[in-house]
Amino acid sequence: MITVLFGGSRPQGNTAQLTQYALEGKQYNWIDLTQYHFKPVRDYRHESKQIESYIDDYQLIIDQVLESDTVIFASPVYWYSVSASVKAFIDHWSESLIDPKYQDFKTKMSNIDFRLILVGGDCPKVKAKPCIKQLEYSLDFLGAKLNGYIIGTAERPGDVMKDVYALERAQEWNAVLS
């Protein structure tokens, strides 16, 4: 199963268009992270507390992620980073690491094919690099791997569909994703 974790502020914007193009003809689960609520992460690493429940929508989404074969993060580039909703979701991985219900969290995450689609307007092929490193380091900490990324260029609505390189990469993904 393919799961898309979408973090764009425009449901039909360039990031959504490029992601849907990469997945044309495929079945996938589209999760718009902007439609869910994430409280600030609870950092209990230096306390004797455990995570016993979630007071936001994180568990609903992480359970779907852990059942996926492929997970695609799709985000516009905002201030040289992924969107706030994507970052808030990733931050919650810290809670899963100390939640007894997710004792196999690292193992399950390491078996997922993670990918990233980014779209930006101001030299994104350079300025989106911090987003890629951020996700690579985060996944590496869990024993998982970022298996590919696509960076699209778009200033105005619909521009990404003129980015020949991004569209070619999306077609390559479409040929290998199942």
Task: Centre a 10 Å sphere on the Cβ of residue 18 and count the other Cβ atoms it contains.
Answer: 25
Q: Please tell me the distance from the alpha carbon of residue 124 to that of residue 122, in angstroms, as a whole number.
A: 6
Q: Please tell me the distance from the alpha carbon of residue 54 to that of residue 113, in angstroms, as a whole number.
A: 26
Both structure tokens of 70: 């492929």
Q: How far is CA 115 from CA 21, 30, 95, 99, 170, in A?
A: 15, 14, 22, 25, 11
Query: Domain map of the chain by residue range?
Result: 2-176
Q: Is the pLDDT of residue 67 over 90?
A: yes
Q: Please tell me the distance from the alpha carbon of residue 39 to that of residue 26, in angstroms, as a whole number.
A: 32
Q: What predicted TM-score, i.e. pTM, was given to this entire model?
A: 0.95
CB 126 within 8 A of CB 84: no
pLDDT one-digit tens code per residue, 127-156: 999 999 999 999 999 999 999 999 999 999
Count of residues in the chain: 178
Q: Please tell me the distance from the alpha carbon of residue 87 to that of residue 172, in angstroms, as a whole number.
A: 27
* Superfamily of structural domain 2-176: Flavodoxin domain (3.40.50.360)
Q: Is the dihedral of CA 136, 142, 148, 150 positive or negative?
A: negative
pLDDT one-digit tens code per residue, 79-127: 889 999 999 999 999 999 999 999 999 999 999 999 999 999 989 999 9
